[in-house]
Amino acid sequence: MTDFRIGFGYDVHQLKENVDFWLGGIKIPHHSGAVGHSDADVLIHVICDALLGAANLRDIGYHFSDQDPQYKGIDSKLLLKEVLVLLEKSGYVLGNLDATICLQQPKINPHIPAMKACLAEVMQVAEGQISIKATTTETLGFVGRQEGVSAYCVALIQRKNLPNS
């Protein structure tokens, strides 16, 4: 079995006025927010998918169906904690992750330190293991028209040092 594995996550959420905007576990002040079955935190969703994919554990929708009422409006940080339990049970820990948020407005760079601090606490890892970047699409496409937000993430996981291994 390999000691290192890489996973990839991608997600999109529609933006709607007068909805709270949760991103990276924090509430971003803005007139629009992402909509979804949960709190629609697109960054946490791609992190979950990247980690699950790296461990060959399918995807976030498989584990937390949007058809299941128990996940309606759920804080995505709780989903991330559950993903980390699954990762741990599979014998892996996070090496690092690198994520990019695609959003025209609001500007995300000022919020990245708070997102990293929040995610590091939830994941019980060092902030240095989490890279978050932000970009626009230069007004092109659904992101550029401010109709939605998308995010990408790659994660490196490594096998834990187990006794007698």
Asked whether residue 164 carries a pLDDT value surpassing 60, the answer given is: no
Question: pLDDT tens, 65-103?
Answer: 888 888 898 999 999 999 999 999 999 999 999 999 999
Please check if 70 is assigned to a binding site: no
99 part of a folded domain: no
164 part of a folded domain: no
Please check if 38 is assigned to a binding site: yes
Question: pLDDT tens, 111-155?
Answer: 999 999 999 999 999 999 999 999 999 999 999 999 999 999 999
Whether pTM > 0.85 for this model: the answer is yes
Please check if 45 is assigned to a binding site: yes
Question: pLDDT tens, 43-55?
Answer: 999 999 999 999 9
Nearest-angstrom CA–CA distance, 12 and 42: 7
Tokens of residue 55, six digits: 């461990």
90 part of a folded domain: yes
34 part of a folded domain: yes
Please check if 2 is assigned to a binding site: no
Domain that holds residue 16: 4-94+104-159
Please check if 139 is assigned to a binding site: no
Please check if 146 is assigned to a binding site: no
Please check if 61 is assigned to a binding site: yes
86 part of a folded domain: yes
CATH number of the domain within which 138 lies? 3.30.1330.50
Please check if 98 is assigned to a binding site: no
* 3-class DSSP assignment, residue 75: coil
Please check if 137 is assigned to a binding site: yes
Please check if 59 is assigned to a binding site: yes
Residue 63's Cβ-count burial label (10 Å; 0-12, 13-18, 19+) is middle
What pLDDT, on the 0 to 100 scale, is given for residue 160? Answer: 87
Total number of domains constituting the chain: 1
Please check if 49 is assigned to a binding site: no
Please check if 12 is assigned to a binding site: yes
Nearest-angstrom CA–CA distance, 84 and 138: 35
165 part of a folded domain: no
17 part of a folded domain: yes
